[in-house]
Amino acid sequence: MTIDASKLHILKQVESGVLSPEEGSGLLEILERSGSDPGESAPFPEMITSSSPKVEVPPIAWYWKLGWSLFLWLGVGLTVLSAYWMYRGFQAAGFGVGFFLSWIPFILGIILTYAGARLMEAHWVHVKVNTADEGKPQHIDITMPLPLGWMGWIFKNFGRYMPENIRDRHVDEILIELDKSMKRGEPFQLLVDDEKDGDHVEVLIA
């Protein structure tokens, strides 16, 4: 699907009520900023996007929460152990080498604890992929936290060091707008269907 066809597809969605005028305007702006050649095919054969609050958000399975919470508990454990090392080092030799070395894992533990806590508070992205690779149906289901605020800050402050084709797409602005949309309780859904290969991709950020 070319850029022009994508624009027409979005306008039809606005006309049919699938997208609101504001959502359609935002998607058209993203297409304009992508900088793609109008004659160049889009990365996906068929793409439908929606940020409607009517999208059903699946519950997060306990094992996904447990897996990603390991960053938090690893940080807590490292902080406690290094604090004990710091205390023992100070008892043994005062402000000696052991005391100052203990600050390295202590600071790392604090960073991991903070990052883990923020991950648990972040928006979650659900990715489902159904594909028939080499004739064998495959199903991939991944759930992970997506710290949009962090990512937007990274792209905004360090985007000048990234490849030009990424800088020109204004990824930081897109991430910030997505984050604002999530805070308003509007999940974002991306559906990709490839009728030729029979692939189906669903991405939901909520």
Per-residue pLDDT of the chain (206 residues; tens, 9 = 90+): 455 666 777 777 777 766 677 767 777 776 666 544 444 444 444 444 444 446 677 788 888 888 899 999 999 999 999 999 999 888 888 888 888 999 999 999 999 999 899 888 888 888 888 776 665 667 888 888 888 777 777 777 777 777 776 666 666 677 777 777 777 677 777 777 766 666 777 878 87
Residue 6: its pLDDT value, please? 66
Residue labelled with tokens 């508070």: 121
Strand, helix or coil for residue 186: coil
Nearest to 50 by CA among 79, 81, 16, 75: 16
Other Cβ atoms closer than 10 A to 7: 17
User: What is the pLDDT at residue 45?
Assistant: 40
How is residue 26 written in tokens?
Answer: 């935002």
Query: What pTM does this model have?
Result: 0.57
Q: What is the pLDDT of residue 37?
A: 44
How much is the pLDDT for 64?
A: 87
Q: How long a stretch of residues is the chain?
A: 206
Domain boundaries, the chain: 3-59+123-205, 62-120
